[in-house]
Structure 1
Amino acid sequence: MTTTSSTPVDRAAPLPDTGGGVLSGPYRALTLGIVSVVLLLAFEATAVNTAMPVAARSLDGLGLYAFAFSGYFTTTLFALVVSGQWCDRRGPLEPLFTGIAVFAAGLVVAGTAAGMWAFVAGRAVQGLGGGLVIVALYVVVGRAFPERLRPSVFAAFSAAWVLPSIVGPLVSGAVTQHLGWRWVFLAVPVLVLLPVAVMWPALRRAERAQPPLHAAAFDRGRTWCAALAAAGAGLLQYAGQRLDLLGLVPAVAGAALLLPAVVRLLPAGTLRAARGLPTVILLRGVAAGAFFAAEAFVPLMMVTQRDLSPTLAGLTLTSGGLSWAFGSWLQGRPGAQRHREAMIRLGFVLTAVAIAGAALVLVPSVPAWVAAVAWAVGGVGMGLAVASISVLMMKLSAAEDTGANSAALQLSDALGNVLLIGLAGVLFSGLGGGSAAAAQDAPAPAGAFAVIFAVMAGVALLGAVVSGRTAAAGAGG
């Protein structure tokens, strides 16, 4: 099992369990505080999905469309490991609020970008902030909530996506059409101030209630591995954009940096799906990568293939946000703990069905609303799988490994996104989607979208097969 330093961390136990729910007296302010952070991230994510096709065309960067998504997750790879160690050394508050500030700075860089590469750089800065924030949130859950309440907290995280899923595409689409896509990014930093002011007192009170952590030195080896993993992922993405013989050089260099670093950063046996925690960590990356690689191209498909406005294209994804919350709620119901493996498997199957269903919209006779229905199915699947995976990670982690394993879970998530969104970008460019003609408002080839969705549906089905290995060795299943 992974650790973040050679010095054991004296991690505090959760707050005393009074038998209430997540909104009962001792937990109410804390729950509302951390959910407000997720709400902020959700608004940004749904807004970006809606505005991205317009932004990429405006900056003549349709060929780098996937890079604008995967660049975010590349820097997240590094930030996740740093955040895990930072949390284990100093608690989650410092990385949480530092991450929020860095995230806001990245929004400003992206919103003021004069070219696509500058825009990608802004997204990369956002990734640094997002990586710091998400691990800190998981550590807050592990430190402050008893095991019986953690499924409900993760369900609340998913529920926080409901309002952004409904309002986000409408607001982002209206802003993009009437004020310009830049304001989708520039307005969010101002909105950060209120959630920060609301959650700060609750988080401070919860942290003061915990015994102090022993100071543990940063594991510089892990930090360097994280940096090498991010550099390797970046080189692989760059090589994928070249699609020529010279691209083999950064591709080989990227693989040489990435693979050994990932082996060092993830729990032993993750890449071979060893039973128990390693498979749990692996499946998080498989689920996130397959779903979000497909989702990144859904709005672009709806705009270029079905001539929908940015607002309507973004609304296609709304059903997924709503149903994700429902799926997460289902896994948090009493008695669900006995069916974790089955829920994860079902979640992957539903995700594969959704991705394949969205591709049907490429057939002109199929109504455009079919994509929204398909994404509703995928949302249920992701809600079941992702929340269950998070609960299992907490259950299988020793107290002193909570920060490291939370970071590993998010690292797998980011790595899955980087590799599979990057692969989608390579397929898109290689099949003509990033051509000069496409950049001038001509439709990208339908075949490019079809291949991307077919590959990602296959990856989701592979996750369903591997899900049987989530039970620890000797535990059955």
Structure 2
Amino acid sequence: MSDSPADLPPLVLGEAPRGGVLSPHYRWISIGMCALIMLSAFEALAVTTIMPTISRELDGASLYAFAFAGPLAVSVVGMVLAGAWSDRGNPRNALFASVALFVVGLLIAGLAPTMGVFVAGRLVHGLGGGALTVALYVIVARVYPPVLHPRILAGFAAAWVIPSLIGPLIAGIVAESVGWRWVFLGVIALVLLAMIMVVPVMRSMHSPAPGADRPPWDARRIGWAVLVAVAVLAINLSAEARGPVQWIIPVVAVVVAGFALRPLLPVHTLRAERGLPSVILLRGLVAATFFGTEVYIPYLLTSQFGLSPAIAGLALTAAGLTWATASWVQGRFPGISHLATIRIGVGLMTIAIAVSLATAVLALDPVVQIVGWAFAGAGMGLMFPRLTVMTLEYSTIADQGFNSSALSIADSIGSAVALAATAIAFAALEPAGGAWPFAGAFAVTGAICLVALVLGGRVVQGRGRGAPRSH
């Protein structure tokens, strides 16, 4: 009997378990979603690897950090839209729309004649990427039984293995041979191939019953998301300002962003209340630590140590491998407590940041940096899937979209704000020359990591699980 997508029964909400994530009932949806994660991972790793080359060719050094932070900021809008769309019914359409924006963004970036146009493409890509993440999380919650959540989320992390092994190297080689533009244009064909696998399965995924309650579109929440994006973009652009304005803009923008974030997150998230609020906050802190540091590592290795983009990308390869391995470990051994995985993960991140700072200040061998960054990947591999699992555990079907959206918003805003802070530190220390600007950036992310270390224990509620509250 054939087990192609067309021959399988529809995926209905609330079904009983039917084997593992690769059993006939879940096989194609699992493969399709992991393929999309893999391509998203390849794009992320590729951009980080070749951005020094792009910046140099398009004379866009002033927009280096913004090219990373901008997409993260606008992704918040995509996340909110995808979360609301999913809560109102079927997340399928949100997934299709997000993939379309993803492809358009890659096309604009790949054909960009200037750094400004390139950044515009990155913004479109960020809008689609944010929606894609939320849609996939909601599909996991709707399709898979809770017992399979750790396995499929571990599969998402494992989908980083191939991009981690060959992504940075291939991106570096392509940039050095036929040009960096083909790194973006080539991914488009692969995304379309992945959608060929996904579309048949998504068509068979049923929406809730017609009579089910559907929350209305919340225009205010979308407006708050836009305001957050604008404020975070302003923080990042302030790195290029001079004089008092360079410090006034970030302060005002941080206040505005904090105020606008409140309706987009569970109640008391910014106060680190125990349970779901601290899970969301911690996710933002560890994402800020990791991604705020990682974007500068290839830059450090190419500019200060003279490595080629392909060789500098080995640091990303090492981190991706350890991320996937650690994620497999936590999925394989679910008996390891959430709290233990988080404490170990933040500890590994602390080691990695310390190594990065020492490499910049003491001009250590580049191999030390490459190996040291592998500790950061291992820490993220332990924490990221568990924080997602905890979010789903604290959620009901009525707020899966909201909480999944909040989790992704924390990822993006935490990373974007960290990139803004590191860009300001980098610009302030640039007159000192040498590796000091990089040391300043790593010191900022190190301070964020210490905050995560202090707050890590608050993800578990003190007395009883209770029902998480959200706006």
TM-score, length basis structure 1: 0.91
Q: Report the equivalent of 1:425.
A: 423
List gaps (5 residues or longer) in structure 1: 1-11, 436-443
User: Could you tell me which residue of structure 1 aligns to residue 68 of structure 2?
Assistant: 69
- AA at the equivalent of 2:201: A
Cα distance between partner residues in 1 of 2:353 and 2:248: 33
Structure 2 unaligned spans of 5+: 1-11, 466-471
Counterpart contact for 1:95–1:132, Cα < 8 Å:
yes
- Cα gap change, 1:22/1:61 in structure 2, threshold over 3 Å: closer, same or farther? same
1:219-230 residue pairs with structure 2 within 5 A? Answer: 219-230=218-229
Please name the residue that 1:4 is paired with. none
- Equivalent residues in 2 for 1:387-398, closer than 5 Å: 387-398=385-396
Q: Is the 8 A contact 1:359 1:371 kept in 2?
A: no
Secondary structure class of the residue paired with 2:26: helix
Confirm or deny: 8 A CA contact 1:235 1:253 kept in the other structure. Answer: no
- Per mean C-alpha deviation after superposition, the further-off stretch among 291-300 and 99-108 is 99-108
Contact 2:13 2:206 in 1 (8 A): no
Q: Can you list the C-alpha shifts for 1:159-199, whole angstroms capped at 9, x where unaligned?
A: 00000011111211111001111221222222221001011
Cα distance change on mapping 1:254 and 1:452 into 2, 3 Å:
same
2:450 pairs with 1:452: no
CA shift, 1:349, in A, is 1.1
Q: Is the 8 A contact 1:14 1:142 kept in 2?
A: no
Partner SS state of residue 187, structure 1: helix
Contact 2:28-2:197 within 8 A present in 1 as well: no
Is the Cα contact below 8 Å between 1:81 and 1:222 reproduced in 2? yes
Q: Which residue of 2 aligns with 1:86?
A: 85
After superposition, residues 75-114 of structure 1 pair within 5 angstroms as 75-114=74-113
Matched, 1:15 2:4: no
> Structure 2 vs 1, CA of residues 176 and 267 (structure 1 numbering), >3 Å: closer, same or farther?
same
Q: Which residue of 1 aligns with 2:23?
A: 24
CA distance in 1, matches of 2:434, 2:242: 18
CA distance in 1, matches of 2:235, 2:444: 19
Partner of 1:174: 173
Aligned to 2:237: 238
Distance across 1 between alignment mates of 2:363 and 2:74: 41
Write the mapping of 1:331-370 to structure 2, written as runs, cut at 5 A: 331-336=330-335, 339-362=337-360, 366-370=364-368
Per mean C-alpha deviation after superposition, the further-off stretch among 161-170 and 241-250 is: 241-250
**Match for residue 401 of structure 2 among 400, 403, 412:** 403
CA distance in 1, matches of 2:144, 2:121: 35
CA distance in 1, matches of 2:283, 2:362: 34
Q: Name the stretch that deviates more: 355-364 or 457-466.
A: 355-364
**CA contact 2:104–2:124 (8 Å) conserved in 1:** yes
Spell out, residue by residue over 1:253-283, the C-alpha distance to the aligned partner (whole angstroms, 9 max, x if none): 5235312111121111101100000000001
Distance in 1 (alpha carbons) for counterparts of 2:287 and 2:278:
14
User: Which secondary structure does the structure 2 equivalent of 1:192 belong to?
Assistant: helix
What does residue 371 of structure 1 align with? 369
**Maintained 8 Å contact 2:89/2:208:** no
Deviation, structure 1 residue 13: 4.2
1:294, 1:452 within 8 Å by CA — same for their partners in 2? yes
The answer on whether the counterparts of 1:139 and 1:406 sit within 8 Å (CA) in structure 2 is yes
The 1:184/1:298 distance shift into structure 2, 3 A limit, reads same
Shift of 1:210: 5.9
**Does the 8 Å CA contact 1:112/1:182 hold for their aligned counterparts?**
yes
1:467 Cα deviation after fit:
1.1
User: 1:463 aligns to what?
Assistant: 452
CA drift of 1:459 comes to 1.5
What corresponds to 2:410 in structure 1? Answer: 412
Secondary structure of 1:76's counterpart equals: helix
Structure 1 range deviating more: 96-105 or 116-125 = 116-125
2: CA distance between counterparts of 1:73 and 1:394? 23
Shift of 1:409: 0.3
Deviation at 1:200, TM superposition (A): 1.1
The offset of 1:431, in angstroms, is: 1.2
Q: Is the 8 A contact 2:89 2:214 kept in 1?
A: yes
Which residue in the other structure is 2:146 paired with? 147
Distance 1:203 1:210 in 2: 14
Partner of 2:468: none
1:458 deviates by 2.6
Alignment map for 1:283-302 (pairs within 5 Å) = 283-302=282-301
Aligned to 1:60: 59
**Cα RMSD (Å):** 1.9
TM-fit CA distance, 1:324: 0.4
Letter in 1 for 2:322: S
Displacement of 1:209 after TM fit?
7.8
Deviations 1:348-377 (A, max 9, x none): 110111122133333666321112211211
Of 236-245 and 148-157, the range deviating more from structure 2: 236-245
TM-superposed CA distance for 1:335, in Å, is 4.1
C-alpha separation between the residues in 1 aligned to 2:116 and 2:373? 30
Is the contact between residue 33 and residue 203 of structure 1 (CA under 8 Å) also seen in structure 2?
no
Structure 1 SS opposite 2:64: helix
Q: 1:101-155 CA distances to partner (integer Å, 9 max, x unpaired)? A: 1111111222222222222211111110101100000000000111111011111
Tell whether the 8 Å contact from 2:90 to 2:208 is kept in structure 1 after alignment.
no
Partners of 1:96 and 1:394 lie apart in 2 by: 19
Does the C-alpha gap of structure 1 residues 340 and 105 become closer, same or farther in structure 2, counting only changes over 3 Å?
Answer: same
Aligned length: 453
Q: Are residue 135 (structure 1) and residue 131 (structure 2) matched? A: no
Which residue pairs with 1:312 in the alignment? 311
Q: Contact 1:139 / 1:403 at 8 angstroms: preserved in 2?
A: yes
Which residue of 1 is the match for residue 378 of structure 2? Answer: 380
* Greater mean alpha carbon deviation, residues 172-181 or residues 247-256: 247-256
Query: In structure 1, what is the Cα distance between the partners aligned to 2:356 and 2:161?
Result: 21
The one-letter amino acid of 1:322's match is L
TM (norm. structure 2) is 0.92
Q: Equivalents in 2 of 1:399, 1:90: separation in Å?
A: 11
Contact 1:240–1:425 under 8 Å retained in 2:
yes
C-alpha offsets along residues 218-253 of structure 1, whole Å, 9 cap, x if unaligned? Answer: 111111111111111111222232132234564455
Moved more, 399-408 or 195-204: 195-204
Quick check: 1:352–1:458 contact (8 Å CA) kept in 2?
no
Aligned to 1:47: 46
Q: 1:438 maps to which residue?
A: none
Query: C-alpha distance in 1, partners of 2:425/2:251?
Result: 19
Contact 2:315 2:374 in 1 (8 A): no
1:325-336 counterparts in 2 under 5 A? 325-336=324-335
Q: Distance in 2 between matches of 1:245 and 1:304?
A: 30
> SS where residue 259 of structure 1 aligns?
helix
Contact 1:284/1:386 (<8 A) preserved: yes
Separation in 1, partners of 2:403, 2:334: 25
Three-state SS of the structure 2 residue aligned to 1:432 is helix
